[in-house]
Amino acid sequence: MWLGVWLAVLGLAVGAMIGLYVPVLLPMAYARYTSVAVLAALDSVFGGIKAGMEDKFDNKVFISGFFSNALLAAGLAFIGERLGIELYLAAVVAFGVRLFQNLAIIRRHLLKR
């Protein structure tokens, strides 16, 4: 369990370093999609943490959920842009709500201990 936490922290640090030193700046047009993707990814991660706390953690679900959610959110935002509807708001709301729910569950699990 704690090894996983440390791994996660280390992975985040490594990813942050990579992100800082990769000379890629997303143009404004794509930033909107990626923002939704990041939100989805965060949601997936917290969902994974919640699942881990409930001892329901499934690796396949976690990985597939992480990537597919991110891609789906970005795609949704893109399609919304094409259709003239700001569909990314739907993703924001949905993932936002889920995020809070997951966080609340995690908090309760932490309090039970």
- Nearest 5°: the CA angle 31, 60, 13 is 50
Distance in angstroms (rounded) separating the CA atoms of residues 5 and 41: 17
Between residues 23 and 111, which has the closer beta carbon with respect to another protein?
Answer: 23
Question: For another protein, which stretch binds (CB under 8 A), given 57-65, 75-83, 87-95, 100-108?
Answer: 57-65
Nearest to 44 by CA among 28, 20, 61: 61
Question: For another protein, which stretch binds (CB under 8 A), given 7-15, 82-90, 91-99, 103-111?
Answer: 7-15
Per CB under 8 A, residues contacting another protein are 3-4, 7-16, 18-20, 22, 24-29, 31, 34-35, 37-38, 41-42, 44-45, 48, 57, 59, 62-63, 66, 70
